[in-house]
Structure 1
Amino acid sequence: MASDEMIKVVGDRFCVPYTMELLVKRKIQSFSNSHYDVFDTTGNILLQVNGGIWNLQKKRVMKDPAGLPVVTLREKQAISWKQEWQMHEGESRHCLCSVKRSGGFNIKSNLDVHLASPYKDAACDFRVTGSLASLSVKVRRGNSIIAEVTHSYTWGSYKGKECFKIKVYPEVDYAFIVALLVIIHENDNA
């Protein structure tokens, strides 16, 4: 990453001064529930995301290890080929950002991320390129890559389990990056 500026969307407590390697394990628990666990390289759990898979109101809640809500992801209900999600602080309705598919019928699920701001302009603040199916996802701010995701089938993807590795660059909000991974995964499997 070219800049030393802290990139915080969810909160500065999720920004660390070094490159962070995360392991995200996703498991389909039942026909209507999916669960994500996020670990650091030493096996400590950092975040958990729960939510239904096939329900009318797609909603995912990310919690910290103490079980406190960090962010809530809600899919905006609209008849459109551009899926849109909103990221809310905790379980409130305070919107942190909106995430929308860049194009409708692409093989790659490129996402545009717009921070919630009263001074909103047309340009997106972040862009997510790639897809989990292609085993490569990059999160960019301008021309700088701030995080990369690689997919691994080693944890038993054939049994409803998947594993993702994320590299988050220094001073980048890793809770925000995990939330984007969940959104792109939900869009890829919609």
Structure 2
Amino acid sequence: MSIPIQQAYLHCPRCGGKHDDPGRVPFRCDRCQFAVFFGPVAAVGGLIVDSENKLLLVRRARNPGKGQWGLPGGFVDSGESVEDALAREVYEETRLRLKRTELLITSPNQYDYQGIVTQVIDLFYVCRAVDPTTVILEPAELDDYAWVNPTADHLDNMAFESNRIAIEHWMG
């Protein structure tokens, strides 16, 4: 069973005191007054388009969403710009280097990792790759890819609803 991250905080991470009201936002320790606000973390996704206006979809090799389609992307690291995170994540997952990016849409998302659900804000960019013919997948993360004109079958098998929303927005 998955639970929101705020319900997983049963003890204060600063002083170790037991928390009597799990799920309250913000988490506030009665003993030392430490607070956690559980704001969303940032993630990026690339809608990489080739010269024929086909979209690159990648199939996830691990959970969440194992076996389902998604967009190249991932979490923004601490101290990293969103644009740098997009370039890094796309390169790590596909070995594609980006030459042009344009913000398309942002969307809230929930990331369920090992039963703990974290709130995420996804930022989706329409991208062009320097050489879209050189996709090399990171096998620990992805096991297939396709350049497609997305169909209902693709959209119905997306790992994350926010990816579907971004693709539908791009399709107009």
More strand by proportion, 1 or 2?
A: 1
More helix by proportion, 1 or 2?
A: 2
Structure with larger Rg: 2
Specify the TM-score bucket, using the shorter chain as the normaliser. under 0.3
Query: Which TM-score applies when normalising by structure 2?
Result: 0.26
